[in-house]
Amino acid sequence: MPELNKFTWNRYDDEDFWFKNLHHLDQQEISELLKTGFIEDEIVIDGIIETRFSRKVGNVWIGRKSYSL
């Protein structure tokens, strides 16, 4: 474990994403996503408005090795 002390750690959200148009979701699939805790919002991808469904599933820890100058 001493090697882990040589890293600077940052926590990030781990999320599942579905996109209405990209994944060709129908209304039944959208209803299922919403029932299972997904949040609906709109984002812009390459100038086009897209409906995104997202749900946090956990955390991801990213480590970057610390160097002394």
* pLDDT one-digit tens code per residue, 11-61: 999 999 999 999 999 999 999 999 999 999 999 999 999 999 999 999 999
Largest CA distance in the chain: 57
Report pTM.
Answer: 0.73
Phi, psi of 67 (to 5 degrees): -115, 135
Confidence of residue 69 (pLDDT cuts 50, 70, 90): low
Host domain of residue 37:
12-59
- The reply to whether 5 falls in a domain is no
The confidence score (pLDDT) of residue 67 equals: 79
- The reply to whether 68 falls in a domain is no
- The reply to whether 17 falls in a domain is yes
- The reply to whether 23 falls in a domain is yes
Residues 6+ apart with CB under 8 A from 55: 15, 16, 33, 36, 37, 38, 39
| Domains of the chain: total | 1
Distance of alpha carbon 27 from the chain centroid:
22
The confidence score (pLDDT) of residue 68 equals: 66
- The reply to whether 67 falls in a domain is no
